[in-house]
Amino acid sequence: MNDIKRMADIKIAVETDDLVPAALELAKQTGLELCKDSKSCSMDNADGDIIISVTEYPESPGYRLELRQAGKGAPGPVAAEFVAGTARHRRLYGGGRNQPLARAIGMKSGVNPRVLDATAGLGKDAFVLASLGCRVDLIERSPIIHVLLENGLQRAATDPATKKIVSERMQLIFADTIQYLKDLNIQRLPDVIYMDPMYPGRTKSALVKKEMRLFKSVIGSDIDADELLHAALNSPVKRVVVKRPRQAPNIGGLEPFTMIQTKNTRYDIYIRH
């Protein structure tokens, strides 16, 4: 776990003077230190250090929070983005209710299960499910990932194309899901618990690699994924779906009831009888 950046090593860079109030608010919320802009942050920090940039983004409203590595030649930023880019493309042209993720959580014609996304991350999977009509509670425990996701959801809630999906169907909760499941409110009982914990192994896609490297330096690997799966299976929720790289072993060695496989990914489906 020593590859994880301490919170104190992560700095906030504010890219234009207009955004200073937003950056100050973020510094207050996270306790992180502010430096002027990503260029001066990079000069202060050794290569490989992590910055959250508060920046304008022409394709979506408001300011965008971007996680990036400092230093020359560092890969591009990572953000929670629902209005533009791949999320937009997937919303408009993705595989609909027939795509593997939707089938894995049990979507059928006229059936939109209520989902608890136990490992929200940047909310991509949750947004796909919400775009298809599911109500999703997204739980994230990393304060850094949580602020990025909150920012993505806030921006999407002001865009006419994504407003309804985000404000009516997606609710973000800052918690550790293992604890959250112990106190699960019966009124908010989901039909499905979905989990996609960080996998310690390697992956081939360049985009995933960039995201995963940054994620890993901020939060490490989710070494308690076994405990999370046990907590999910011990809850009163009937269906638990675990996303894994296709070749990865089952979490905790637990045999799923069934699975759905794609080229690189596997959805292990556990049904409680």
Ligand X SMILES: C[S@@+](CC[C@H](N)C(=O)[O-])C[C@H]1O[C@@H](n2cnc3c(N)ncnc32)[C@H](O)[C@@H]1O
Task: Give min distance, CB of 43 to ligand X, in A.
Answer: 29
C-beta nearest to ligand X: residue:
121
Q: Specify the residue, 35 or 65, whose C-beta has the smaller distance to ligand X.
A: 65
Q: Give the residues lining the site for ligand X (CB under 6 A).
A: 119, 121-125, 139-142, 145, 176-178, 196-198, 219, 222, 228
For ligand X, the closer of residues 124 and 169 by Cβ is 124
Closest CA to 235 of 171, 112, 139, 150: 139
**Smaller CB separation from ligand X, 177 or 235:** 177
We find the least distance from the C-beta atom of residue 80 to ligand X, in angstroms, to be: 8
Question: Are 122 and 160 contacting, i.e. CB atoms less than 8 angstroms apart?
Answer: no
User: Closest separation between CB of residue 225 and ligand X, Å?
Assistant: 7
User: Measured from the CB atom, is 51 or 129 closer to ligand X?
Assistant: 129
Bridge partner residues of 194 (DSSP): 117, 241
Q: Which is nearer to ligand X, 24 or 259 (CB)?
A: 259
Angle 206-219/143-156 helices, nearest 10 degrees?
Answer: 130
DSSP H or E stretch at residue 156: helix 143-156
Q: Which two tokens stand for residue 104?
A: 């894995």
Render 170-205 in DSSP notation, one character per residue: EEEEES-HHHHHHT--GGG--SEEEE-PPPSS----
Angle at 32 between CA 58 and CA 68, to 5 degrees: 45
Q: Please identify, using beta-carbon distances, which residue of 37 and 222 lies nearer to ligand X.
A: 222
For the CB of residue 215, give the shortest distance to ligand X in the complex, in Å.
6
- Minimum CB separation of residue 161 from ligand X in Å reads 19
CA pair distance 139, 185, nearest whole angstrom:
14
> Whole-angstrom Cα distance, residue 125 to residue 122?
8
Shortest Cβ 142–ligand X spacing (Å): 4
Tell me which DSSP letter residue 107 carries.
-
